[in-house]
Amino acid sequence: MTIRQLILGAIPVRFRFALRYMAIHKRFSLLLWPATFSEKNMLRIGKDRRNLLRICADKVAMRRYVAQKIGDRFLPKVFCIADDPANINWQELPERFVIKASHGSAFVSVVHQFNPAAIDRIESMVETCRAWLDVDYGKCNPEWGYTGIPRRILIEEFIESNYRGDDDVPWDFKFFVFDGRCAMVQVDTGRFASHRRNLYSTSWQLLESTYGYPPTETPLEKPGNLDELIELAERVGAGIDFVRVDLYAANSGPVVGELTMSPEGGDVHFSNARLDLFLGEQWKMTRFRD
């Protein structure tokens, strides 16, 4: 164990994450009386130990949670869940699908025009999946929710949507839901090409703030079923102080992609301080004991 690790280990958890918050956000806060969203997000990472965080972080357990809450018809079809990618029957997969690892963030690959006869391609995908499974994400990430999650590979259907980017991947609609009430909509486009991110009010008014990525150069079309998407996100988020509900506006109807309890791992801040404070006011966070 390094001297730095020994020193950090001796510091109370709240203040350890307060130091992290101040280093990232360049703003003084001891996280004793958090007011902004970014403060509360960091405090959750440091102090919140509810099992719900693990359920939402585990992409397999999350599916069960959503199915129990609103039904499995709002989830993408799963072709396979495997502990070893060598056991996947690649010959039975469709032309387009999505590969994910269950235990971490950003372990995802979208496959277009899959040819089951392309052995080299399959071997490459198996190698990528094994590399994902080799990572103990809970040990290399400060978010407690990722600790101890079983490492598995999921293969899901590709979501067909008229709302898609230049990379032909559907837009990610991410709803910031506070105890069943949506306060903001984040839309990510071009995740596998030129990543852009817009922030909107629930009435689709563009908010003057960035959050990790620049906005699109031209306005995004308001989805025709925005009210339906918001209503579904609020149903999923009911009873949770805060959760980001990620949906796709599929041609067949809304589809739940993921649930995120600590957006961006606390490492990104809003350029608009007023928006950060507004979202923080929506979050009725229970005070944690030190």
CATH number, domain containing residue 106: 3.30.1490
DSSP state of 91: G
Residue 211 lies in a domain: no
Total of domains in the chain: 1
Spatial contact of 204 and 222, defined as CB atoms under 8 Å apart: yes
Kindly tell me the burial class for residue 2, based on how many C-beta atoms sit within 10 Å of its own C-beta (0-12, 13-18, 19 or more).
exposed
How much is the average pLDDT of 105-113? 94
Residue 132 lies in a domain: yes
Residue 133 has pLDDT above 80, yes or no: yes
How much is the average pLDDT of 170-184? 98
The pLDDT of residue 193: 81
Structural domain for 120, as ranges: 74-159
The pLDDT of residue 5: 55
Kindly tell me the burial class for residue 135, based on how many C-beta atoms sit within 10 Å of its own C-beta (0-12, 13-18, 19 or more).
middle
Residue 90 lies in a domain: yes
Residue 86 lies in a domain: yes
Better-predicted residue by pLDDT, 132 or 5: 132
Residue 159 has pLDDT above 80, yes or no: yes
In order of 98, 138, 234, the CA distances from 102 in angstroms are 12, 12, 24
Question: Whole-prediction pTM value?
Answer: 0.94
Predicted confidence band at 191 (pLDDT cuts at 50, 70, 90)?
Answer: confident
Residue 131 lies in a domain: yes
Residue 107 lies in a domain: yes
Residue 206 lies in a domain: no
Residue 113 lies in a domain: yes
Q: List, for residues 46-98, the tens digit of each pLDDT value.
A: 999 999 999 999 999 999 999 999 999 999 999 999 999 999 999 999 999 99
What is the phi/psi pair of residue 42, to 5°? -65, -40
The pLDDT of residue 6: 57
Spatial contact of 129 and 99, defined as CB atoms under 8 Å apart: yes
